[in-house]
Structure 1
Amino acid sequence: MAHLDHIIVLVPYASLTNPPAWITENFTITPGGQHADRKTENRLICFRDGSYVELIAFVNDDPKNREGHRWGGKHFGIIDFAFTHRTGDAAALFSELQERLDGVDWKEDAIKVEYQPPVAGGRKRPDGKEVKWTVTTPVTTTGYQSGQLPFFCHDVTPRSVRVPVSEEAITHPNGAYGIKQLTIFVDESKIGALSQAYAAIAGVPDSSTGDSYGIFNLRRLIEVEGRKNAQFNLRTPTQQWQVDSMKERGGAFLGALTFCGRVASGETESSRRIDDGNGGMGEVYLDLETLDLET
């Protein structure tokens, strides 16, 4: 079974160096570094459950840094997300992924989902430490795109080098301990194939009860008190702004992200929107829930 590794948010370079108030007021930001290609730089929002949000920007917003980059054509906002595994070799896990996808009984009009073999990645932290990993990405020449399908990130250096786990890094002003839910809006014509693919990719069943959407629950990388799963929803857009955002982005809009926080039993649960409505983020929520959740 796969676990959520991280969610990627593309921001202007100025917003990386000086994040907007809605981010700094809600989250603790951890230094990241510049990637090995020197085209992008990042900062992290790390969570108690082992996942994180990666704030990433093209260095100095130089258009040349977008050239040839897998995210070079992306709009600002949530652009991609990664799964991982607690243990295992990336090459062996890739072979297992291929087997699961080969075993899918694809619908007649579906485009088969495929992945490329793992490739090396890395960056240097501000303290000079080298961070190394491999990524396994979906094939995007057959009609799919990054963001419609997750990629995999597997560590070469210890995970704690890439994802700081200090109490300071994982404690946030808004009390969030992880990601509750991400909704990916896609065209109706792709819902069926993507739902089949997600079940094989994540190694979990589709929990939906209809053909017009998919629901996938992934156990957290680190078990924490509270909600046990991070949920991924495939949906067709129902509001015009969602339709427009999906079309602007070529057929996939990662448009609704919810973080989860805890309140003690007996205290008031709540859900509120925390983003400022700018930067192509879609909608970002924080749900505060009681501790005795089992889902």
Structure 2
Amino acid sequence: MTSTNRLDHIVHLAPPASVQETSELFRELGFTVLTGGTHEDGLTANALVVFPTGSYFELISFTEPISAYPPGSPERKKRDNHRWAKNQPGWVDYGFLGNGSQTERISDIINTRAAKNGYTNPLYDPEFHGGRKNPDGETLEWLITSANTKSGSEYWKMLPFFCGDITPRRLRVPMDPPSNTQHQNAAVGLAHIRLLALRDSVPAVSRQLTYVVGNEPNLVGSSLGPTYSWDIDTGDDALPCRLILGRPENNEEEEFLKAAVGVPLFEIGFWVKGRPSSDSVMTPYAKIVWVTKEGA
């Protein structure tokens, strides 16, 4: 049975034409950053931070500022319509691992699951092609499954996209040599992804995320309202990961949610060996939380 709850990667958006500069900033935070490439639409370029579990996060930026595209041109239209065109730098998206198939499609699996639970509109659009060249000049290909922006649901932006490899995944996620996945800050994997939503919308968003993940969430109640969490797979049972959904808990989180354009992804947690010098750290644009794992 095809899984729909395997974490693939997190997306961190950097300012236009700043992948190299942002890579250096993350190296200063103790991450090993690998050179990526330019995507097939020519609009974005990336670098990668890979973990031994096979999950990773992606440092991505537009290759040019929007002013480089003449108003009204086809290139400008493509840039304006890009998934992250209006996002501010920081954590902007998260992706699960697809299966790279146009016959046993992830979109069909999730839409069927939702329909059986009474949801009348498709949550996901049909798969479309994506790709880039890696630093060795090899062509990488995959299928992207994205939430249906015209489903009538205002919560589509909360749902993960899926990336399913057509070419071998090792080309997209270079785990060899082992030094590619070793980090000076002792990070060994992703511990949690935390999404924020308005209190009244949290139950509805949780239902849609349940259709995607395929597992019922854990529920914790408090005076601030319910918090939902789903166990998601990262490829290593010893390093579990949670997808967390709840309402803002303080003024900082409320302001973040008000300003959010795409996925309101407030923080990412990373498993680390030993005890870090602080519980959290800010990149120039986003929040990282360190989570100590006994025996990791």
Correspondence 1:24 to 2:23: no
Question: Hey, what does 2:163 align to over in structure 1?
Answer: 153
How many Å separate the matches in 2 of 1:67 and 1:117? 22
Write out aligned runs for 1:228-247 (5 A).
Answer: 229-247=240-258
Q: Residue 273 of structure 1 aligns to which amino acid in structure 2?
A: S
- Structure 1 SS opposite 2:124: coil
RMSD (Å) for aligned C-alpha atoms: 2.4
The yes-or-no answer on 1:6 pairing with 2:9 is yes
Deviation at 1:140, TM superposition (A): 1.8
Give the structure-1-normalised TM-score.
0.85
Match of 1:260 in 2: 271
Structure 2: which amino acid aligns with 1:8? V
Q: 1:140 aligns with which of 124, 132, 149?
A: 149
For 1:161, give the aligned amino acid: L
- Provide structure 2 residue ranges, at least 5 long, that are not aligned to the other structure: 70-75
Aligned position for 1:193: 204
Counterpart-to-counterpart distance in 2, 1:159 and 1:258: 24
CA distance in 1, matches of 2:23, 2:53: 24
Aligned equivalent of 1:182, options 193, 205, 208: 193
Report if the CA contact (8 A) 1:36-1:121 is conserved. yes
User: Cα offset for 1:126?
Assistant: 2.1
The 1:252–1:76 alpha-carbon spacing in structure 2 relative to 1, beyond 3 Å, is same
- For 1:69, the equivalent position in structure 2 comes to 82
| 1:128 corresponds to | 137
Provide, for residues 66-115 of structure 1, a one-character-per-residue CA deviation record: whole Å limited to 9, x for no partner.
31211111111111111115x57354133221111112246xxxx96610
Q: Which runs of 5+ in 1 are unaligned?
A: none
| Kept in 2: contact 1:90–1:154 (CA 8 A) | no
Distance 1:48 1:257 in 2: 17
The question of whether the paired residues in 2 share the 8 Å contact of 1:274 and 1:284 is answered with yes
**Matched residues, number:** 277
TM-score for both structures, normalised by structure 2:
0.85
Counting aligned pairs with the same residue, the percent is: 27
Distance 1:156 1:251, change over 3 A: closer
SS across alignment from 1:60? coil
Which is further off, 120-129 or 94-103?
A: 94-103
Kept after mapping to 2: 8 A contact 1:91/1:118: no
Change (3 A) 1:234 1:113: farther
Check whether the contact 1:180–1:260 (CA below 8 A) recurs between aligned residues: yes
Aligned to 2:291: 287
